[in-house]
Amino acid sequence: MDNKRGCILITALFPLFIGGLIYLCFRSENILFFSWLRFVDFDYSFFRQINLKSTAMSSYIVYNLPHGLWVLSGLLLLRVVAESKILVFYSIVFIVISIGLELAQLFGMRSGTFDLLDLITIVVFSSIGLFVNNFIGRKKYAKV
C-alpha cells in the first residue's frame, strides 16, 4: 500500500473510531456493539464513566452523529479499495443502502426506530464523503 492510500485509509478509519467511541461511552449496553465487545472480552468500563448533560446537541451526538460518521468512513474506505472508474457506482450503492436501511425502519422491515435526523445526517455525511472523494480524485498526484 502506497503512502497516499495509507493516509486515506487512516483518514477513513478516524470517523469510524470516533463513532465507536461515542457508542462505547454513551449508548445502552443492550445493543449489538457491546455483545461484540463482550465476545472479545474487552473491558470498556473506563469509557462508561463519561457523562453528558442531556441537551438536544448531546442527543444528536449520541444517537445520530455515529451513523453519519460511519457512512463517511464507508465512503472514504471505498476510495481505498475501489478503482477510480467504478468508485462513483459503489458510492451511490453504498449511500442507497444506508438510506434504505433507515427507511426500512420506517416501514417496519428492519428493527429499530426510524429517525428523520438520522436520514438527514446520512445525506449530509454522504455529501461530505462524495466531496472529499471527488477532491482527492482531482489531485494530479493522486493515483488512488
Name the residue type at position 57. M
Q: What is the pLDDT of residue 122?
A: 98
- Whole-prediction pTM: 0.86
Give the N- to C-terminal CA distance of the chain in Å, as an integer.
10
* Closest of 122, 75, 90, 88 to residue 103, by C-alpha: 122
Is 19:69 a contact under the CB 8 Å cutoff?
yes
* Closest of 79, 73, 69 to residue 134, by C-alpha: 79
- Separation of alpha carbons 56 and 47, rounded Å: 22
Cα–Cα separations (whole angstroms), residue 90 to 17, 21, 65, 74, 116: 22, 27, 23, 10, 24
* Per-residue pLDDT tens digits of the chain, which is 144 residues long: 688 888 989 999 999 999 999 999 999 889 888 898 999 999 988 888 888 888 999 999 999 999 999 999 999 999 999 888 899 999 999 999 999 999 999 999 999 899 999 999 999 999 999 999 988 877 644 455
Q: What is the pLDDT of residue 47?
A: 87
